[in-house]
Amino acid sequence: MIFQGKTILITGGAGSFGQEFAEVILKEHNPAVVRIFDNNELQLVEMGRRFSDRRLRFFLGDVRDKSRLERSMADVDVVVHAAALKHIPVCEYNPIEAVRTNIEGAVNVIDAAIDQRVPLVMNIGTDKSVQPANLYGATKMVAEKLFVQGNAYGSHKNVRLSSARYGNVIASSGSVIPLFLEQRKTGEVTVTDERMTRFWISLEEGIRFVITCIERMHGGEVFVPKVPSMRVLDLAQTVAPEAKVKIVGIRPGEKLHETLICEEEARHTREFDDMYVIAPEFSFWKEENSKEGKPVPASFSYRSDRNERAITKEEMKKMLDTMKHEI
């Protein structure tokens, strides 16, 4: 196994993704050390109490601080970059802070990984980065492109960098499901538009997808999982079936539907059984890296409103019940 006996660093490691990723890696892949890099002191302390695992190391630091990243990446084998400002209204109101964390922070992660010769570096992306309509999506689009181009500098040092791009994580911190759970106590839930659709993936599925991507990466790819879609209205009615639904209108920077692969990316996208792989259009990429996949049609796009895989209310309820939510 690729993680066995290795040292792994997770930026933003005290967040929802980082904690779940660390738990799966520690339980199933027997790493030597998992380093948690985060700027939230309280979450680091609470995570240490929760796990009580001697293989965990906690680095208090910010991705804006390159020197701290370099120190944390010494002798690291795998970096998973999950640190970001991700809430759209916060990024819209604080645009410079979003740029400094999501773009300049990505540059620091890439530079530190190359300087420290980290073999494998995986960036956690988002569907918001495809044809972005808000600042958060724009910063994540830039970060994704930086990780692709980083291979031009890192390949001669045996450093490979890629991105995993997926949709909304069910019931993650700050997501819509906890909001619906809170709102149903009042008897009314708010939905921005009854036509709105989103891609949905569970946190565990996201973790296992990222692990698979790290195992398969050559450097420069953007990995996209095949995931189902659902109307946000149907999700609200699943979580709060007895509540009244109030339509409040789309917020600034919000899309009606999300896209995981746009038509312009189709010409260098290949389809596999469980995912799509978007190959980089740079000289460092070797065509044989993705020859096993089949090309997608030239007009292909992967949109939440045109997705062949749809989640029914019953399926979503089972997913939420499995995750121990009170539905």
Q: Which residues are catalytic?
A: 128
Rounded to the nearest 5°, which phi and psi values hold at 68?
A: -70, -40
How are the residues of the chain apportioned to helix, strand and coil, as percentages rounded to the nearest 5? 40, 20, 40
Which is it for strands 229-231 and 275-278: parallel, antiparallel or unpaired? unpaired
CA-based nearest residue to 124, from 234, 232, 10, 243:
10
CA-based nearest residue to 85, from 148, 8, 138, 24:
138
CA-based nearest residue to 47, from 32, 31, 59, 62:
59
What CA–CA distance (Å, rounded) separates 164 from 62? 22
CA-based nearest residue to 172, from 42, 14, 15:
15
Cβ 9 vs Cβ 37: under 8 Å: yes
The single-letter code of the amino acid at 286 is: K
Sequence-ordered strand ranges (E) for 141-290: 160-164, 168-169, 188-191, 197-201, 222-225, 229-231, 244-247, 259-261, 269-271, 275-278
What CA–CA distance (Å, rounded) separates 282 from 285? 6
CA-based nearest residue to 213, from 149, 291, 129, 121:
121
Tell me how far CA of residue 194 lies from CA of 89, 256, 307, in angstroms.
21, 9, 17
